[in-house]
Amino acid sequence: MSRFTRLGATIAAAALTFGLATPAQAQDANVFDLLKTINAGVENTDCSTLGTVLRGAKLVDDTTTRSQLVADLNSKLGDDATMKLVSGPTINKLGDRALECKIVKADKLTPADQALQFASKLSAEAGLPELRNVAPLLSSNL
């Protein structure tokens, strides 16, 4: 099974889990359309549901920070750079939503964190991939 087939199956399963797509929609849509749907769905997911899913999967506890959640989710992807690149925006949106819902704690901001946030904002406004989505690829390939 190719990386993209596995990725498509994983994304379709996630879309179905969060009620973002019917089985027919999940089967017919391409991977990138599904990612857009999931990203939009993550931003609007009920906080109680999200908390239940993350705690049930043992991804968070009372001390988990946003960056710990994102790092843990990225580590579950293994060393596949393509998977990390494609799933980076979704993982970051999930971390953002978990923070908004107070499921995870805010990270202590260092000057490097502030620079990364600023660079990510600029690149997103320019229609480019956010640096925070590409950074895990750089660290795993060094």
21 has pLDDT over 50: no
d(CA 109, CA 74): 20
In angstroms, what CA-CA distances link 98 with 34, 42, 137? 21, 9, 22
Determine the average pLDDT of the residues in 18-35: 52
> Which pLDDT does position 133 carry in this prediction?
67
> Which pLDDT does position 40 carry in this prediction?
73
- For residues 86 and 29, the model is more confident at 86
Helix (H, G, I), strand (E, B) or coil at 65: strand
Whether the CB-CB separation of 120 and 96 falls below 8 Å is answered with no
Whether the CB-CB separation of 54 and 30 falls below 8 Å is answered with no
Helix (H, G, I), strand (E, B) or coil at 79: coil
